Structure 1
Amino acid sequence: MKHQAFRASRLLLTALCFVLLAGCANVPLESQPVVVPGERQGPGTGDVVPDPPPDTDPLTLVRGFIRATLKPGANYAAARAYLDEQGRADWRPSRSLTIIQDTFGTVYDTSPQPDPNTQVVNVRGVDVGTLDQHNAFVPDYTSAALQVKVRKQGKDGPWRIVDPPSDLYATESDFSENYTPVPVSFYSDTAATFVPDRRYVVAKPQSGLPGRVMDLLVSGPSPSLAGAVRNLLGEPIEIDTNVKSLDDGTLVVPLTGLTGVPDDVRKLIAAQIVLSLQYVTSARIRILADGAPLVANHPDWRPNDLPAYGAALSLKLELQGLATVDGRVRSLTDGAPVPGPAGNGGYDVVSAAQSIDGKRLAVVERSGGGVRLRIGDLGHDLPLGNLSGSTMTRPTWRPGTGEVWTVTDQFTVGRMVMGPNGQWTPLHVNATDLIQQGGITELRFSRDGARVAAVIKGQLWVAAVVGADDSVSLREPRHLQPHDLEEVVDADWIGQDLVAVTKSMSQPVVKVTVDGQRLDAFNSSNLTTPVHGVTAAPDRPIVVADANGLWTASVLGEVWRPHAHSMKEADPFYPG
């Protein structure tokens, strides 16, 4: 009897081995999107995490590894469950996160492998961008270049990843679910206002959000704004101890290293902190410097305690915008021509821009076979600005400076500065980094003056404005939505986002985040493509120009309404 039982056990074990070997021999050549369950304790974390089923094939294993990267748990415990024992102990991923499209595949590498128990899996998809070490999104659109080596653990053991990638990979959906965007504020001396720097922080646990935002503040602006803004919390200032909440709900931000910092700078530091934390907490914020209130007699802060920074950059209610029509400048308020030669036909106006305070006008005028720039007081003769060429982009006023910028013949960015004698003088802008991307057909300052948006070869770019006085450069150009946004003809700023119009029939008007991480299409109802112009500003309706005239809308899903003073061939513009 014992001998028969032993023989039966051997037969059962042999049958199971054949099943396992058959399963290994029939591993699929390409995987489909599958989420696999599983249970494993991450090393040193105390987290119990899913372990992949023992029969998981290499393709599914790699997909599951990517999908587990951002699962809750300390030290990427869920992702470590897909690694072999050595990888679980040794893996030290960098802080860089590559974000790939949700739809991606895994296929076997065709190179011969000397070990039949080892497979190399290629991830086939598209990288849409990276989250850099500053937690800023850097747009990209290239084929995924990830290779993952997988090895069978013993003769009949499961497949596990060996030599895991040094960088983290996650899908767009997983990224959006696990990270939240936060506009972290830094100060612009040029415009005397705070400039939001869009960054991404881990969303959970929610109680830790203020501390994570403060870490970003202290570390300084992202490379996309480096040199364009100032970090008031730079060295030697540090966070003294952990940011924490008191029993009454007050959030305490303890700082150190502020000895000798004057009161006016302390108030700006308080504003920088409150403006940044308002997106992650509604609590009172108590800001301390070495245990005492940062600002004397003002220990606790809320957003409504702050002055209106940048108020001088806001549009006055009575300034409802202008438009160029048939060589003249007209008001969008009533459709009437503006006073002076810009409105009565004295100049053959190609494009124009009104100053933020509404008092001045810059126009590009046809002259002979080319164009030239005029700048002066609205309603009066506009003196020539000593700038001419074959083409010029519509002028744009630099916030906080009174400068007028335009691009001549697509490759020369000029800035016009008024001297003590009232004359406008052209100064050089170092735009090498931007014009290397191609000819510029549109240029527009952000409302805080820290960035410009540019249309280059039908594509949308953003660059930082660095420097002042006699030395100004356009740095860190970023190509926004390189795959989904093409044939752009015009763009403008609405807060920290951009509105762009394109030649596309399916999405003629789109909204794009300043870092290019997200694109949303406006309703195209009522529009007759192609759309050729747009203007936007905070707290103002967006105005676009199509073949039939002007249309307005305020939100993404809204149907476009005819403008009250619509005019064919009009190009609208708000001050700025």
Structure 2
Amino acid sequence: MPDNGGLQAVEASQRPDSQVRVFAMPPREHAGPVSIVDGFLEALTSDDPQYTMARKYLTDRAARDWHPEESTTVLTDGPNTGPASRPSAGDEGRTFRLSGRQVALVDQEHAYRPEGRAYSTTLHLVEEDGPKGKQWRIDGLPQGVVLGQSDFQRIYQSVNKYYYALDEESSGGAGTSGESGAGSGSGSSDRQKRLVADPVYVRQWIDPLTQTVRALLAGPTRWLDPVVTTTFPSGTRLRKDVMTLAPDDDNNLKVPLNAKADHVGQAHCKEMATQLLFSLQDVTSANVSQIELQRSNGSQLCVLNESGAEALVAQRTSGPSDDQYFLDAKGRLVQMSGASRTTKEPERVPGPLGDGEQRMRSVAVSRDETQAAAVSNNGSALFVGSFVSGASLGDPVVRSHAKSEKDRLTTPSWDGLGGLWVADRDPGKPRLLMFGRGLADEVHEVDVSGLEGGRIEAVKVSADGARIALLVQAKGRTTLRIGRVERDLGPDGRLTVSVDGLSAAAPQMEEVTAMSWAGPSRLVVVGRESGGVQQLSYVQCDGSVPPGQALPGLTGVKEIAASEDDRLPLVAHSDDGIVRLPPGLPWQTVRKDGTAPVYPG
């Protein structure tokens, strides 16, 4: 520590640590076809906003017709360039083949879709006259951009857009991002609304704030659209003269909208601002604490800060407390404090599930932490018990009649609307069930599209109730699938519930053995890749794996639990018993003799 000398002021940056930046170079004079192809592919990996330098490798016509924003193809490695093929008769150009193993496609909506398949396309080059003589240029290429996975992870970042979950009363099977969605958002309700995350990818060095706002205004992705609505009137966009947005020194962001939003009321406007505030939380460079929406003439529509936005939406975390639950050695439900360094012994919950009236093997605590659903030790019966001392357990709400214990009921799960979900794995009558607040008086057998003969092995519903994570066993392997939960009121007033749009959420895993929601669009999974060992990692529900999502190893993980609040520790049942992983610390053993750890939900 210096004890003399002068002091010098330095600027303290508030921006995140910089990463590697790539700047494109223009083509060299009289460069050969191979150099042109290599230079063009390198230019695609740059942080050039409009791909201006990449267009210099194209003929004038090709530069005009090329739309890089149309899609981004992600390959395991950078595209391999094959040797130039012989030109056909009369063709004086050169053709190069680009190939690789495709892992995903990011479409025009910025949505990520896993696609494991071979990739192959061609680039065609011609010699064209220029001011300094003939130059090789690309005149035939596919639309969009092609990148290796490492370049994609460096250039893009995942952000969550937010939309409102459709209520049962407003579910009618129609899309919600068009006129019907605008109409359903024209009023205001005193009841808090549920926000649903819609993950997309934006270029993290090219004004991600403005990109995110434009993506939000464009509406939900096609996959999520059937179960959400937006309060922005149909056709609402940024005002035409607005090229970029930036918060002021007080972290206030002004968002000028076009005339489509000129006549919305205050309550409606604040719901719109809430969507924006939540959607900008993942843009680390934004740091927005207040939104001001403006009419097309620049006048103020409304102003909303973070606390005002929080008051308008339903609580997004697992439950009102930060406590965790598990079953002790006698199958009784116990509760422990969520504090990472507490030494307090877990305590049995009040009521029949803590009294041990019936030995249980799996459990789900309701999100308000007033009751829990539990499956009997042999897997045949699902009980629901309150956390009230002296209460009785009562009759099971459903029974499985499968002969084998492994073919009976899965661990149950509560959604954010108070519904209880469980799957019966009975080979003679496999089914997914959802119980409403009336439990046995309100049971729905849920149709699941896209199972293709697979069997549901585990169920976990997101806090917003709009999405469901399923472990599906098919063809000798168990994989993670994400589906939309669609609720529809028929003309007779009867509710039907279905799961549609099943998609792979951990395609890199050969086998997934446990999973849990760990945020608005993130899950923690336990599984192994082909030929690998068991590992724990975070994945996005769209199937992507953002960098830095690996977790410390743990032996023999059988069950995993996470909270939507990432400040709370992961909890697992492993060979070491009940363990948990507080942020920034190693795994810690809580009890040697416990099973079935859960957070509310």
TM-score by length of 1: 0.78
Equivalent positions of 1:181-200 (< 5 A) are 181-190=158-167, 192-200=193-201
**Residue 202 of structure 2: aligned partner:** 201
Shift of 1:572: 0.8
Alpha carbons 1:100, 1:169 under 8 Å: kept:
yes
**Residue 515 of structure 2: aligned partner:** 491
What stretches of structure 2 of length at least 5 have no aligned partner? 1-21, 168-191, 338-344, 403-407, 490-494
1:464 and 2:484 matched: yes
Shift of 1:549: 0.9
Paired amino acid for 2:367: I
Seen in structure 2, the aligned counterparts of structure 1 residues 503 and 364 have a Cα distance that, compared at 3 Å, is farther
Paired amino acid for 1:404: L
Question: What CA distance in whole angstroms lies between the structure 1 residues aligned with 2:119 and 2:85?
Answer: 17
1:177 and 2:154 matched: yes
Equivalent positions of 1:19-418 (< 5 A) are 50-52=26-28, 54-58=30-34, 61-73=36-48, 75-84=50-59, 86-93=61-68, 95-108=70-83, 114=89, 118-151=93-126, 159-190=136-167, 192-206=193-207, 209-235=208-234, 237-241=236-240, 242=242, 244=245, 250-255=252-257, 256-258=259-261, 261-278=264-281, 279=283, 280-282=285-287, 284-290=290-296, 291-295=298-302, 299=303, 301-308=304-311, 309-311=313-315, 314-317=318-321, 319-323=323-327, 325=329, 327-332=331-336, 334-365=345-376, 371-378=380-387, 380-390=392-402, 391-399=408-416, 401-409=417-425, 411-418=430-437
Shift of 1:544: 1.3
1:348-379 residue CA offsets vs partner (Å, 9 max, x unmatched)? 42321110111112122256xx6232223246
Alpha carbons 1:319, 1:358 under 8 Å: kept:
no
**Residue 535 of structure 1: aligned partner:** 561
Alpha carbons 1:462, 1:479 under 8 Å: kept:
yes
Alpha carbons 1:313, 1:448 under 8 Å: kept:
no
Among all aligned residue pairs of Structure 1 and Structure 2, give the percentage whose two residues are the same amino acid: 25
1:203-230 residue CA offsets vs partner (Å, 9 max, x unmatched)? 3443xx4433222121111123212221
Alpha carbons 2:98, 2:120 under 8 Å: kept:
yes
Shift of 1:441: 1.0
Report the RMSD for the aligned CA atoms in angstroms. Answer: 3.4
TM-score by length of 2: 0.75
Seen in structure 2, the aligned counterparts of structure 1 residues 91 and 274 have a Cα distance that, compared at 3 Å, is closer
1:429 and 2:446 matched: yes
**476, 496, 503: which one aligns with 2:501:** 476
**Residue 41 of structure 1: aligned partner:** none
1:43-89 residue CA offsets vs partner (Å, 9 max, x unmatched)? xxxxxx5115645453x643432332253446433222333454335
Question: What CA distance in whole angstroms lies between the structure 2 residues aligned with 1:475 and 1:335?
Answer: 40
Q: How many residues align?
A: 511
1:460-481 residue CA offsets vs partner (Å, 9 max, x unmatched)? 2222222256122223222123
1:158-200 residue CA offsets vs partner (Å, 9 max, x unmatched)? 6543311123212233333333332222122547222222222
- Out of 246-255 and 374-383, give the one that drifted further: 246-255
Question: What CA distance in whole angstroms lies between the structure 2 residues aligned with 1:365 and 1:153?
Answer: 77
Question: What CA distance in whole angstroms lies between the structure 2 residues aligned with 1:463 and 1:226?
Answer: 13
Paired amino acid for 1:450: A
Secondary structure of the residue aligned to 1:177 is helix
Question: What CA distance in whole angstroms lies between the structure 1 residues aligned with 2:224 and 2:67?
Answer: 29
Secondary structure of the residue aligned to 2:324 is coil
Seen in structure 2, the aligned counterparts of structure 1 residues 202 and 339 have a Cα distance that, compared at 3 Å, is closer
Shift of 1:566: 3.4
- Out of 109-118 and 333-342, give the one that drifted further: 109-118
Question: What CA distance in whole angstroms lies between the structure 2 residues aligned with 1:223 and 1:573?
Answer: 32
Alpha carbons 1:489, 1:502 under 8 Å: kept:
yes
Paired amino acid for 1:554: P
Question: What CA distance in whole angstroms lies between the structure 1 residues aligned with 2:98 and 2:221?
Answer: 29
Paired amino acid for 1:464: R
Bigger Rg, structure 1 or 2 = 1
Paired amino acid for 1:310: A
Question: What CA distance in whole angstroms lies between the structure 2 residues aligned with 1:512 and 1:230?
Answer: 25
Alpha carbons 2:47, 2:206 under 8 Å: kept:
no
Secondary structure of the residue aligned to 1:516 is coil
Shift of 1:446: 1.7
1:73-106 residue CA offsets vs partner (Å, 9 max, x unmatched)? 4643322233345433543456111122235422
Seen in structure 2, the aligned counterparts of structure 1 residues 573 and 325 have a Cα distance that, compared at 3 Å, is farther
What stretches of structure 1 of length at least 5 have no aligned partner? 1-35, 39-48
